[in-house]
């Protein structure tokens, strides 16, 4: 009913006859493009923030596997930033970072964990937990961006975003392996 009156959700206004009973309007590409750019700015800020946050985590980590995983992901993060610059360039835009509140919160949570725990397996488990939350946020962001790019027909952006999405998933899996291999086993030995 609302749809029929407001015309906000259907195309049956303006005297135009819609074919069949179409209730779904594709989002205008200009709106989707704006959303795409906003999300890009958001993840660009997030990745930059991570280049400062990951070294802190690395400093507080004890397990060599975890240190290696963080070191490796720091290198990847620098490459991901370069890749984002290319995505901006592919749509003729300069790279702009806009503060990502979600990532800021996730990094704060990681800081809090590291402040509260002493170095060792428990702290490692906390760092892994915080890192995986970060990875999952990134996976969600890049998955969305990749889909937007595909819908918008931005082939170069799709390819670049897909590469990073795979890296983020692999980083998440690596953290799971580190956790299951050693850290969590050690953590259970510690008295709380």
- Give me the residues that bind Fe ion (CB under 5 A), please: 80, 138
| Closer CB to Fe ion, 80 or 131, in the complex | 80
| Closer CB to Fe ion, 124 or 167, in the complex | 167
Three-class SS of 128-153 = HHHHHHHHHHHHHHHHHHHHHHHHHC
Measured from the CB of residue 80, what is the shortest distance to Fe ion in angstroms?
5
- Environment class of residue 39 by beta-carbon count within 10 Å: exposed (0-12), middle (13-18) or buried (19+)? middle
**3-state DSSP assignment of residue 116:** helix
Measured from the CB of residue 76, what is the shortest distance to Fe ion in angstroms?
7
Measured from the CB of residue 100, what is the shortest distance to Fe ion in angstroms?
12
| Closer CB to Fe ion, 42 or 138, in the complex | 138
Separation of alpha carbons 79 and 47, rounded Å? 10
Measured from the CB of residue 43, what is the shortest distance to Fe ion in angstroms?
8
| Closer CB to Fe ion, 88 or 182, in the complex | 88
Q: What is the CA radius of gyration of the chain?
A: 21
């Amino acid at each position: 009913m609302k749809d029929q009156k407001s015309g906000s959700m259907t195309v049956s206004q303006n005297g135009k006859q819609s074919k069949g009973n179409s209730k779904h309007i594709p989002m205008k590409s200009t709106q989707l493009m704006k959303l795409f750019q906003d999300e890009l700015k958001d993840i660009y800020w997030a990745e930059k923030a991570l280049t400062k946050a990951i070294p802190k985590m690395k400093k507080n980590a004890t397990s060599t596997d975890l240190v290696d995983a963080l070191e490796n992901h720091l290198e990847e993060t620098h490459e991901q930033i370069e890749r984002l610059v290319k995505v901006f360039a592919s749509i003729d835009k300069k790279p702009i970072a806009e503060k990502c509140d979600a990532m800021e919160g996730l990094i704060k949570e990681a800081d809090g964990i590291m402040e509260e725990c002493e170095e060792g397996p428990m702290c490692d488990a906390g760092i892994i937990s915080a890192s995986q939350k970060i990875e999952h946020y990134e996976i969600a962001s890049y998955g969305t961006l990749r889909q937007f790019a595909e819908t918008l027909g931005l082939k170069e952006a799709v390819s670049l975003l897909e590469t990073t999405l795979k890296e983020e998933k692999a980083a998440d899996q690596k953290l799971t392996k580190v956790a299951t291999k050693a850290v969590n086993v050690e953590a259970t030995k510690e008295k709380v």
